[in-house]
Structure 1
């Protein structure tokens, strides 16, 4: 008896190990994996991989059927194991025993199922003739068993069998090439400065791998790289300025978030004032005097926070209609948390290059401010932009300053200044020379809905150093 159990377990384990092996092979021929290898003639390799995937998946479908029918017998649902003892053929969706029986019932009018349509497979009323004759006979026996065995009817049917739902090769290839191209663009665009989509495209023109993948993605060999890069970046970028990514009706939500952040900063400053901005060290916690002093400081800090700040209300969450574009919602979500590869400055395009101005989303607040300030001065000093044109960049700087003061207001060793204070002074001076009140920054809207403004004068920043 023990020997029988051992044999049974070994057989089941062998099938499971074989399935695991096939699943690993399947992963190796996915579009993502083939693109990662970046071998020559990638188009041909993708075609071979697509064919290999169909073969491997068909083997997995066949093997899963063997495992199912083996288990049916182990549980006493069939008198014998209706399994195949030779090399398994490729079994496509629609060719399993229960699917053939379902297709026959559909054809005879016994069933009105839309299962085949729903799962993207073709109904087959006949057993494939290109299978080995003994395998065909086995499938006939399985169909007969399902028809006559009331227990099998309950479990070997469309409601309980593995569906093998899988996104088609073309759709997965499209996503894989898109993400590969975006990653390549991001790697090229990882600079601590602003740049345009046209500039990125120029850097990629001599990248043969990029050209190959771009041709696959675009479905043509003569892809316009500048157009392609611009389209891809537009789908994975979000404007730096809140008023450009959010609709006017949603701006009060953004202001509510700003108010919450400001109150939290005040609380942080109070904690630092009383020395409770860090947990009490374990060693100090064992000393009663230090522990008591820390507890007293906590109470004092809490009292001052209640007096100066009060209760901080939870700011409202965003909804999809709050964003100007559906893509912004996908990248930001209900909390407006950045997930994009690039931030953009729509309306700040330079002369002779109308493509979108962008920066890498991995830049720190200080790096962003420095890059925006440099772009601002170049437009103002070298292209003669007036206040109305410069406003988007001033708004972007204004929204960054609280974060600069929070994270970058230590003395910078290069400029010997507190960079949060520095950029606030820079902003105020620019507003003064442009005759623009700071309150105008919070009421500013993109040109399509904004009012006109004017002005102009120069000041050196750390961005120029």
Structure 2
């Protein structure tokens, strides 16, 4: 050890290499943090099992409370939740709600973006339409649109999941406009769905929400969600499906047309919808 110290003192090159900034720090993430992250990831992985997100009628959305009810017999998930919370009887609804909150992005552009992001989104939709025309053999000029930035998104978690090119990397789809009777937990879909299944799950919700008292105003964002999916359905799912006797694209277009006719609106009208600004209550005056 003394010879090493003497060499460091006598040789400027060795002395430079032995400075702290050139040494491996061996800094590691604490075990408790690694364990927590691993437990959370394992629970979320179990939530992404495809069978949870469908029933005998096809793809369907689930509230967090519904997911918790479905998973109460899942011994592995219960053990993971118990270790994560330190409780032998963990509150599954609370655990799932806290974990899915940062892993879900809304289904509708108006819920994802601020006005600047919505403007970029509309531009990107025009680009994709031009691309479809070019794929069909038409000669078109396609300009490269502006990329998204963090300020374009309504929440940081949406930016984290989508990034500058708006590429979906989230695990779940959030439906802020859906509700359940006597269940106030968030309603989710699976981000592993293709456009067909996204549209079918959303289309199934229209009569459900009507049965719960939703009027045309409340249904507008749901129809807008189908309109946003419509071009992709006609691009990828235009062939006849034996289940429907028609193509999924044709079925969803028919659903959209029916609701628009009843509501007296156009596709542009519903896609212009934006969520109402949050209201802030006043503090009561002191007497």
TM-score band w.r.t. shorter chain: 0.7 to 0.9
Higher helix share: 1
Matched-pair contact (CA < 8 Å) for 1:348–1:392: no
Residue 214 of structure 2: SS of its match in structure 1? coil
The structure that has the greater radius of gyration is 1
What's the offset of the Cα at 1:340? 0.8
Q: Secondary structure in 1 aligned to 2:164?
A: helix
Q: Which residue of structure 1 aligns with residue 151 of structure 2? A: 321
Deviations along 1:378-407, one digit per CA (max 9) or x if unpaired, are 221x32321112122111101000000000
**Alpha carbons of 1:369 and 1:144: their partners in 2 closer, same or farther (altered >3 Å)?**
same
Q: Which has the higher contact order (CA 8 A, sep 6+)?
A: 2
- Aligned mates of 2:245, 2:73 — CA distance in 1: 42
Distance in 1, Cα, partners of 2:33 & 2:272: 43
Query: After the TM superposition, which residues 348-387 of structure 1 pair with which residues of structure 2 at under 5 Å, given as runs?
Result: 348-380=178-210, 382-387=211-216
8 Å CA contact retained: 2:173, 2:188: yes
Matched residues in 2 for 1:177 and 1:311: separation? 49
Counterpart for residue 189 of structure 1: 52
Residue 263 (structure 2) pairs with residue 401 (structure 1): no
Q: Following TM superposition, by how much is the alpha carbon of 1:150 offset from its aligned partner in structure 2, in angstroms? A: 5.0
- TM-score, scaled to structure 2: 0.87
Unaligned runs of 5+ in 1: 1-138, 272-304, 450-465
8 Å Cα contact 1:345-1:392 kept in structure 2: no
- CA drift of 1:435 comes to 2.8
Question: In 2, distance between residues paired with 1:413 and 1:364?
Answer: 18
**Which string of whole-angstrom CA distances, capped at 9 and with x for unpartnered residues, describes residues 333-352 of structure 1?**
01111001111111211221
Q: C-alpha distance in 1, partners of 2:116/2:12?
A: 62
> Which of 5, 28, 35 lines up with 1:173 in the alignment?
35
Q: Unpaired segments of 5 or more residues in structure 2?
A: 279-287
Given the superposition, is the C-alpha separation of residues 157 and 440 from structure 1 closer, same or farther in structure 2, using an over 3 Å criterion?
same
Q: Is the 8 A contact 1:348 1:389 kept in 2?
A: no
Task: Give 1:145 shift.
Answer: 4.8
Scaled by the length of structure 1, what TM-score is found?
A: 0.55
1:256 partnered with 2:123: yes
Q: Equivalent residue for 2:177?
A: 347
Q: Distance between the aligned counterparts of 1:215 and 1:320, measured in 2?
A: 36
8 Å Cα contact 2:221/2:271 also seen in 1: no
How far the C-alpha of 1:151 sits from its partner, in A, is 5.0
